[in-house]
Structure 1
Amino acid sequence: MREVDVVGVRVEMPSNQPIVLLREVTGERYLPIWIGAVEASAIAFAQQGVVPPRPLTHDLLKTVLDETGNALTEVQITEVQDGIFFATLVFDSGVTISARPSDSIALALRTGSRIVCSEEVLEEAGIAAPAEQEDEVEKFREFLDHVSPEDFEQG
């Protein structure tokens, strides 16, 4: 398993489909995962430190974990089959639960949990971005600095 960071979310054009972009902590690969609009908003909220007036589903789940003493220690992105990604929530008790990567990432950002990805997923779906491609990555980061969660709301 390789540790990854969340670069951010954006809307892919022309499909108007949100993606979350992950990056290897010690490597040059990026992993784009197509996600739903609600999950994109939840991830963007967590990254920007936005606290909604009422808890969203991921905030509620974090509160349940905190109040019951079930710490989330790690999110694992374990496999990709026919373009569909799979993840596992790993708790300090040793319990593991299968989950969608988008929900898992949103929860990991709220709990400060580590996110890791299997080498097989990175080999199959990862995109290498060597130093000469960093300009594109920087443009993406600049976009992320100006995007708001409302950009993912469906109208």
Structure 2
Amino acid sequence: MTEAQAIALATAEEPPQRPLTHDLFRDVLSALGVSLRAVNIVALRDGIYFADLVFSNGVEVSARPSDSIALALRTGARIYASEEVVQEAGVIIPDDQEDEVEKFREFLDQITPEDFGRAG
């Protein structure tokens, strides 16, 4: 399963039949009494993003941002990006487009795979 699918499943209302790797990691953290406090997207070098997982016991672990985001969505941890990453990769949305972006977000929150049907 790709990280994109893992992220999408974290936002789905119906969990998978068996826990995925990110679900397992969340459950192990809980069993050990440690929580994921934050995900920091810390760098972008040669088109590759880098992230750190920040745990409640003060430990920080380097991780792929895709895995970090999938885990953050499962644990409710906050996701941050460094100023350098935002400066290099951020997209400025003009004020007049903000309403359209918000409408699109609302649309995405409501749509289901069944809304697309099948070609036939």
TM range (shorter): 0.7 to 0.9
Q: Distance in 2 between matches of 1:147 and 1:102?
A: 23
Gap change, CA 1:60 and 1:106, over 3 Å in 2: same
Q: Distance in 2 between matches of 1:133 and 1:106?
A: 28
Residues 51-90 of structure 1: pairs in structure 2 closer than 5 A: 51-90=15-54
Aligned to 2:13: 49
Q: Distance in 2 between matches of 1:132 and 1:147?
A: 28
Give how far 1:130 is off: 2.4
Aligned to 1:40: 4
Give how far 1:39 is off: 1.1
- Structure with bigger gyration radius: 2
Higher relative contact order structure (alpha carbons within 8 Å, sequence separation ≥ 6): 1
Any unmatched runs of 5+ in structure 2? 114-120
* Number of equivalences: 113
Q: Greater share of strand residues, 1 or 2?
A: 1
Q: Distance in 1 between matches of 2:40 and 2:51?
A: 5
Q: Greater share of helix residues, 1 or 2?
A: 2
Q: Distance in 1 between matches of 2:102 and 2:12?
A: 18
Sequence identity of aligned pairs in percent? 57
C-alpha RMSD over aligned residues:
1.9
> Deviation per CA, 1:25-73, whole angstroms, max 9, x where unpaired?
xxxxxxxxxxxx7111111111123311100110010001000112111
> Deviation per CA, 1:104-142, whole angstroms, max 9, x where unpaired?
011001111111110110000000112212255246422
Q: Distance in 1 between matches of 2:30 and 2:108?
A: 33
